[in-house]
Amino acid sequence: MGPFTVGEGRQVENLKYQILGPLRLSQVKGEPLKASKPRQLLATLLLHPNRFVSTDLIADALWEGSPPRSATANIRTYVRALRGVLQEAGLPAPIDTSAAGYSIEVGVDELDSSRFESLLAEGGHLRDVGEGRQAMEVLSHAYTLWRGHPLEDLTTSAAWEGSIARLEAQYRGLVDGLLDLRLEYGDATGAAVLLSGRLTEDPYDEQLWRRLVDALVAAGRTGEARAAYRKAVQTLADELNIEPGPELQAAGARAESGRSANWPDPGIPAARTANRPSPGEDVVPGPMAAPVLSDPQRPPSQLPLDLPDFSGRKQKLEQLRDLVCGRDPVRPPVAVISGAPGTGKTSLAVRLGHLVRDSFPDGQIYLDMRGATQPRDAGGALTDLLLSLNMPDYAVPTDPDRRSAMLRSELASRRVLIILDDVASASQVAPLMPGTGASAVVVTSRNRLIDLAGADSMPLDTFNDSEASELLERVAGSGRVDTKSLAAEEILSACGNLPLAIRIVASRLAQRPDLSPTELARRLRDETQRLDELSIGELAVRTSADLSYGSLSAEEARLYRLIGRFAVGVFSARVLEPVASPASVRRSLDRLIEVNLVQISSVDDSGKARYRVHDLLRLHAIGVGDDEQKAQAVKDLTTVLDALLHKVRRAGAALPVVYFGVLDQPGPAPSPGPAPFTDADAIAWFDSDRSTFVPAIRAAAQNGLHEYAWRIAAGWGPYLDMRAGFDDWNESHQAGLASAIESGNRHGEAIMHRNLGQLALYRDDWEPAWYHLNEAATIFAEVGDRLGTGVSAVGLGTWLRERGRPDEALAQYERAFDAFVEVQNANGEAVARTAAASIWRARGDLAMAGRYLAEAYLIGVRRGDVHRVAKVRRGIAGLRVQQGNPAQAVRQLQASLAIFNGLGDDHCAAYTRAELGHALILVGEGAAARRMLLDAIEIGTRLGDRSVEGAAALHLGRLHASTGNEDFARRYLSRAVRAWQQVGNDTKLTESRHALAALTSANQATG
């Protein structure tokens, strides 16, 4: 295989595997390889292509130096699974097995890293023989293959570090070489782009800043060069507390004077770039039809007028075009476009008809089947179709079955497109289907028509954001509304991206020059009037939804009205079961799904569906029915919320973690009857129904049932704390706080404030944490809740400790201790003692800290509270490190981590991993420490906890620095700096900056 040149046309599209960034299997739709271990295995083999990789190295990559006893057998299983997945995905790369291990055989052009290295070699050769321009082109191709850090979507393994470091060193060399070539041939702007990309990864490299400043000067962009120099000076001062070196200062002086550093004239043409095609038409014409002998009379052309402002649905149009223009000799294509009222089913079908009319020279027939009002009889529709095909009326058979047979005969020798609009059921149109031949049928229906034999389903949802904006702009008219404005966002949000609703409001803007987008958005904010606003002429969202509602039975309509009250988000079927039997609820839901008034949002791992309803249909459901039926819907909602609250309380009480907080008891006692939860059942129920609670709280608030809103929020607080469900926590408690205030329940208000304050502490959001915790303390004192006073005091003490005010923090912890002793709350007493011990440790009084921790540990053991014991063990481990006994700290932290993992407490586990990683470094177990710290960073990032991310990144950066791996050290120390900046922890920020500055100084000294 000869050297690569651009003219040979070998493109990136030939790649099958990509590791220069996230792991990707090219030319494969979706993600066929999802399991983590096979992905780690594939990555390990691809890092060593066409070479046998030992089982030991694979085991290190998969289990980071701690493989199970069954590792060899497990690897064989993963290899078999990987072979099957690759073969099924059309990537039959042979994975060979031998005594030496496993090998994957891939060609140079099939793996991006191999292709990358090949292009580097060729580019270097061309540069060495004086073919600089061609070298620049080849190296530019290599540059396009780099998509980020290699395998960045997988957990980095120590077994990969050598290979990844080599690739990243090659990448830096590529950028440096390409920079020289682009500057040599006058492409200073292209050089600046490369340098800016490098600086996002390494913002503390003075040489990169110097070259960027000079490149911008050479490109004639002196203003940007001066700005870049100022940014470099600020970055080095703020992050590393150092002044720029002489070379960077000289570059800054050149930027001020506008003189380049003797670089080539930027007027010399730069490297050629590939021409990009300009955007084409919205849709591509279908394939040309083969000539068909048609009836000598004029073929029918009955398509309704196409909308001049039709927009969106590009992918759907392409799929439909490919379907109806297919050449299947056995089965004529039948497409069913289904969707909720107002999703644009008819508009899409008509646009498709006009798009492909040349492919159907024997005519296009359109029939309104009136399925939502008075469905047409199939016999009458057959007559209309035959007459449209120029059949004389006297020749049309009187028997419907004979008419159907005659239609099939006529269509067998013709190429006709038939659009059957607004179909009620499959039985209504089954007699109208062709039997063979080249004709096609497009059906639109509010129902899914899953029983229409041989049909391909094309369900429509609402528009995405870009499609919605485009339709609003097209219908309203050019310049009538700024689609990026806040008013436009509000309008589209109120419309829920429903095409019919958008068309109505846009038509209003087009016809009413006196109506501003801001005023229209204001009108749409009022939910009670929104459906009235979404009406113009014969277009109305309410009227469209009424037609579907009218087809429901009394049982189905009652559930629909309840869903309107309850479904302010996704919901499960079983949450509605208190108002009807499970079988009845599921029957009604099936019907509501069939008519597209309710949609399936997702299906969980156990196969249970979650449902959702479009917001405009929710408003429609609230408004339908007489006064008695509307009152019944509110009563049904109260029944559902009451059952949910009692279940939340029972499940919360069964959790295996003793909650440090305040619940809403005393309150309505749980209703008798249901069997108590086990701890596993409770966790499983919370996990499976987690998506229901926030919408239920919002629904309670919107319907004036405020006591239920804040009590449900308080009730699932223990679960949220255990699972670190920060987003759900914030959303539910913000709504709960508003409801507690609205209902005038001061105790509920205090609980909501305390929980929001605790969440803010977890997120390092200091101002809201202080506000909420102080509000909670004040109100708990007002209502005489001593437990709440103690819990709030611990939160305030933690705030003061983290903000560098230890004396005030200790006073709060002592106040909390007194309150807990008074109410005989041993769990709270253990928490206060553990917290106070952290102050004594910081003061260096290790004996006092030890006494506090021992008392807290004893309380946890006596109460059988393993979660509290695990937390105290973490404090004891920190004490052991200070006492110079890291081995004991490791044992304490390993015991803590096992408990947290067993309980599913990822948040506490993340902090424990970070501390354990540090202790393992101290005892010389670097590989195990890396694994712990990487896991801590991953969990902290996922949870949004920047403190644990910063702590782990600092330890990991120092570990890499101690082993001479400067690139990884710089990466993690920089990450620690950013994390502590976001947290606002000045002590840790200074510590991280010093570590990074020391690394930079050492590098400069050796360089």
**Each residue of 745-761: pLDDT tens digit?**
999 999 999 999 999 99
* Cα–Cα dist 77/54, whole Å: 16
Q: What number is the average pLDDT over the span 698-711?
A: 92
Closest by CA to 45, choosing from 109, 119, 88, 100, is 100
The total of other beta-carbon atoms located within 10 Å of residue 55's CB is 17
**Among 363-367, 546-550, 919-923, which is the least confidently predicted range?**
546-550
* Cα–Cα dist 655/603, whole Å: 25
Stretch (H or E) spanning 417: strand 417-421
Percent of the chain with pLDDT over 70: 89
* Cα–Cα dist 626/947, whole Å: 55
pLDDT of 884-903, one tens digit each? 999 999 998 999 898 888 88
Which domains are present in the chain?
314-459 (3.40.50.300), 466-542 (no CATH), 825-917 (1.25.40.10)
pLDDT at 292 over 70: no
pLDDT bracket for residue 220 (50, 70, 90): confident
Q: What number is the average pLDDT over the span 951-973?
A: 88
pLDDT at 639 over 50: yes
> What pLDDT shows up at residue 281?
27
Q: What number is the average pLDDT over the span 219-247?
A: 83
* Cα–Cα dist 912/637, whole Å: 43
Mean pLDDT of the chain: 82
pLDDT bracket for residue 657 (50, 70, 90): confident
* Cα–Cα dist 875/893, whole Å: 9
Which residues, in sequence order, are bridge partners of residue 571?
A: 611
Distances (CA, A) of 844 to 75, 813, 837, 912: 49, 18, 10, 22
Q: Is 367 helix (H, G, I), strand (E, B) or coil?
A: strand
Whether the model pTM is above 0.95: no
Q: What number is the average pLDDT over the span 847-866?
A: 86
pLDDT at 539 over 80: no
Encoded amino acid at 259, one letter: R
* CB-based burial label for 333 (10 Å; 0-12, 13-18, 19+): buried
Pairwise pLDDT comparison (550 vs 65), residue with the higher score: 550
> What pLDDT shows up at residue 859?
87
Evaluate whether 842 touches 802 at the Cβ level (below 8 Å): no
Q: What number is the average pLDDT over the span 261-285?
A: 34
Highest mean pLDDT among 186-200, 663-677, 739-753: 739-753
Q: What are phi and psi of 420, to 5 degrees?
A: -110, 105
* CB-based burial label for 181 (10 Å; 0-12, 13-18, 19+): buried
Which residues, in sequence order, are bridge partners of residue 335?
A: 442, 456
The total of other beta-carbon atoms located within 10 Å of residue 34's CB is 9
Which residues, 6 or more positions from 121, have their beta carbon under 8 angstroms from its beta carbon?
none
User: Where does residue 918 fall: left (phi above 0), alpha (psi -120 to 50 degrees), or beta otherwise?
Assistant: alpha
pLDDT of 69-94, one tens digit each? 778 888 888 888 888 777 777 776 67
pLDDT at 282 over 60: no
Encoded amino acid at 726, one letter: F
pLDDT at 266 over 70: no
Annotate 531-544 with three-state secondary structure.
Answer: HHHCEECCEEHHHH
Evaluate whether 300 touches 365 at the Cβ level (below 8 Å): yes
Which residues, in sequence order, are bridge partners of residue 457?
A: 336
pLDDT bracket for residue 122 (50, 70, 90): confident
Going by their DSSP bridges, the two strands 24-25 and 17-18 should be labelled as: antiparallel
Closest by CA to 992, choosing from 978, 1007, 1006, 1004, is 978
* Cα–Cα dist 113/91, whole Å: 17
pLDDT at 786 over 90: yes
pLDDT at 842 over 50: yes
The total of other beta-carbon atoms located within 10 Å of residue 100's CB is 12
pLDDT bracket for residue 100 (50, 70, 90): low
pLDDT at 782 over 90: yes
pLDDT bracket for residue 336 (50, 70, 90): very high
The owner of tokens 């009187």 is 398
pLDDT bracket for residue 741 (50, 70, 90): very high
> What pLDDT shows up at residue 437?
79
> What pLDDT shows up at residue 691?
81
Which residues, 6 or more positions from 918, have their beta carbon under 8 angstroms from its beta carbon?
881, 929, 951, 955
